[in-house]
Structure 1
Amino acid sequence: MRIRNIAALWVLGMLVAGSARVAAQEAAPALDAGPYASPQDTMRTFLDAIAAAVDRNDDSSWGRVEDCLDISEINKDRARIAAEELRGVIDRLEFIDWRTTPLPTAALVAADGIRSYTYFPAPRFESKLAGRRVQGAIVLARGEDGRWRFSADTIARIRDLFRTVEEMDRVEQLQHVGEGSLSLWLRRQMPRALKGIDNELFTVEYWQWISLFVIILAGFLVDQVVRFVLRTIGLRLIARQGAGDRVESVRLAVRPIGLVAAAVVWLMLLRTLGLSDVSLFVLLGAARIFGILAGVWAAWRVTDLVSEVLLAKAVATDTKIDDVLIPLLRKTIKLFIIIFGFIFAADSLHMRDKVMPILASLGLGGVAFAFAAKDTVENLFGSIAVLLDRPFEVGDWVLIGDTEGTVEEVGFRSTRIRTFYNSQVTVPNSNLVRATVDNYGRRTYRRWKTYIGIQYDTPPDKMIAFVEGIRELIRTHPHTRKDYFHVYYNRFGPSSLDILLYVFHQVPDWGTELAERERLFVDIVRLADEIGVSFAFPTRTVHVAPGDGPALSEEAPRAFT
């Protein structure tokens, strides 16, 4: 019984919820199209907004202008030019106060099912056109969101329509209005022989070809000026830092920066030519890719230049942590330069909406990539461990596993060691996390253990004098440890009396150690000459006992002479 009551209450609740949902759907208000609710509203909004944007330089109004246009079929970079061309056509057809005067046949669009309204062509404009061949139309279409916009086909073909009517004067009430943008003003100044549908090549008019040539020259001129200025400034700054002669490095760094400046000039001026959609897309895309490649190149070269300057200053410091940190940071920055260059390139070609979903949809592929990149991550943490723990520095003599040599470079992924037979060994940084690092370069003292052999016939007084003399040499030597050393007769060798020489040198590197060891060696030889002690070398005396055999005849052949 209790279960039945619960089931009944559940069914009743579902019915109530369903009824409420249906009622809410029925009560849902229609889409609020606002200032785009009808063709007349859209026309009024468009003309008011573009007048504010062009005539009064109100950049915030461009958003309302573009909301009136369906730009799905054109390059977004041409939207503003298309809007100005659309305004230019309307201003040459008629003047209507859209706030008080309705559009002709505007009542027809209020009925359900009407989704487009043709403003042009229309019979009332035939006298205006005076037999001109018209290409294109001005149509407003109602979208799924209830808003009326100038249709995509209208915007895609507005350039041809504008070229049809551009020689016409604006209507009398609008003759005081200028062309507004530099693009239309520049076009207005060109002779008829260089513009128009009949005067173009590959959708680019003759005057635009000439302008493209001028724009390219302007870009290269800016390139030369920027390079000269930056080269002069850069050399002066580096000279003040005392980083040495960097003329070639500065030249290599400013070269791509000049190309970036040229690309910026091209991107700014290309928009002033009123090019067709395809031409503008191709040229702007090429200029953007050129600019991005030059920007990546410039960032790469500047990173190298800054690293060289910092390394030159790091040489003068006592610590070597900067010798490790600067190359690591340089490689890390270059990695980010490549990543951001790829992102900007995708964005400039309007491919970000395609690339980002691909990256976001990796799913299991991302997991597989993570496993594949495990070694890379380990190497990264190994680099961080080397940077933080500092088990060695550039220039140290180290023994890592079976690898022994001098550290040349600590990179993002690996550490390079120059062995004593002049080969280069690359050790992955992930191995450094677990490996035992024996750093000979951090020794305070460097041990020298050897034996000095003197002849067995050396008198005891000379033996004692020689040993005491060696001890005194160690005490007076500028680079030996004075509180701990051993010089004693240690053993009877096969051919000599052996003196144990156990001494430590306090020197910064192996080269200095060899030089100071040589100095002590020569001093010991001189001491031996002064005292009259002779060094022993392996000798052997062979005694042959006479046997019972016959003696050799004097005439017998001899094997040895």
Structure 2
Amino acid sequence: MILGAKRLFYLLLLIVLLIKPHTAEAQLLGSAKTTTEEPEKTPEDSLGRRTPQGTVNGFIKAISDQNYLRASQYFVLSKRSYRKTAERIRIVKAFQQLLDQGGNFSPSSIISSKEIGRTDDDLATGVDLVGSISTSKTAIQLYVENQSDDSQPALWLFSAETVEAIASADVTGEKTFLDRVLPPVLIEKKLGNVPIGHWAVVVIMTVISYLLARLLLFLLVYIVQKLWKKADSENGAAVVEALVLPVQMYLTVLLFVGLTQRMGISIVVRQRFSIIIITIGILAFLILLWRMTDFVTMFVRSKMIKNGRVSAVSAILFLSRTTKVAIVFIGVIAILGIVGVDVTAGLAALGIGGIALALGAQKTIENFVGSVSLIADQPLRVGDYCRVDDIKGTVETIGMRSTTLRTAARTIVTIPNGQLSASKIENYAHRDRFIFNPIFTFRMETTPDQMRYLLVELKSLLFAHPAVLNTPPIVRFTGITADALKVEITAYIEAINFDTSQEVQEDLLLRMMDIIENSGTSLAYPSQTLYMTRDILPSSEKSAEISETVKKWKDNNELQLPKFDPKRVEELKDTIKYPDDGSFKPEEE
């Protein structure tokens, strides 16, 4: 008995040992694997009714294939109507007939392709307007409605109100214009499940719409030329020419849509052409932007050249090319969106690429912005002599990236526009006058009467000289230094350029030297300089003569200090002959 129990125990132990490794291995393997629950994907609908766009496209496809039972599955039908196959087919055919007579769907690219539908309209959530029907007897708004709740996948169907309005519409006895005029053979024979006559009429209507658009445009241009006086000018003709092609394309599209809808062309054909029509409309708008960019560029460029702002031309051309690139880019994005290509990922990639490009081209962008500010503010022009920081030179060119200056040493200095726009610019070419500001220091032996004489005569010279502006010049005895008597002069020279002002300044200084010599005194030498020369004493005779002259001024109340008598100023004006006799005068040659 005991032996039998032991055998049973060993047998159970052997079974446990054989099973346990596999169990442990299974647990280890199981622990190595992590089960990730994938989110449940929305099951596809075989009829494509998850979005409003899919519902409309699926319905058009079904009536194009003449599969009316399938087309009825895009309707919200009552149980009674759904059980009756004939009733379902009748409603679909009535819908198609109403659409052919005067109905239309929105272009496929405009209808929402999202399961939630449009959220930017005034309709309730889960309801979208996708088209309308307008005939002599019927006016129906076509709505699609999401029939599922939040816990279920979206299911968009034509709403019960829309279907009820279609079902109750009287379409008996009504024929479209094409059904009445086309021969039966062109209606019976079909291409793509559409009567071949409809395709032929589409081609004919395209040609007719184009010719009518040209005729209307000709009349419109004629009226504009009669009413607008500037239509025959260069700018007016450019504006008219820029508008002709896009307006003609718009008129062609409008005429084609209006004529085809009223003639009763199949909705299948019109819906297929809707993408082409919108694409043409977008192209017309892009062409209008392109041509208006050319016109604005031409107008501003001619204006800048006329005003002498030649440096702005390069910036205008650059901005024009940039605008055109943006127009092409926007046009491609818009057309791809109309065709049905999802451009969201592409736009995100371009945005990231644009940021990377902007970071990499930071200096280039800085220089471009600097050039725009230089053109707008115009602190410099080509030909101006200026100083930028510690660089002096004449402006040679103002480009989109940099500005070049030619220095007095005939070297070319290139300054990036970004740095130039942030620098201190001193433009000498914009001066309306040139300052004349010498400082004279006279010997300490100069007598007070000699100083009075100097002040009067120097100021008289400035009043009398024709190249000195009429603004009162300033001649002042400003101080006594350790080694001289100081006199400061401030006046303004009227000259057309810097070289002419230097000529006038030279003449003034020479005349002032004559006055100083006649006064009997002389300029002081700096005390730091040691002159090993024989000292020439001031002339006592001239000093006495000057003292006598100043005495007469005082006795007659004619000392023009501290102010000049206005009558004396008028007497002095332009009494000096400049240039002086004996000077070369090119105008006389």
TM range (shorter): 0.3 to 0.5
What TM-score does the superposition give when structure 2 sets the normalisation length?
A: 0.43
Instruction: From the CA coordinates, give the structure whose radius of gyration is larger.
Output: 2
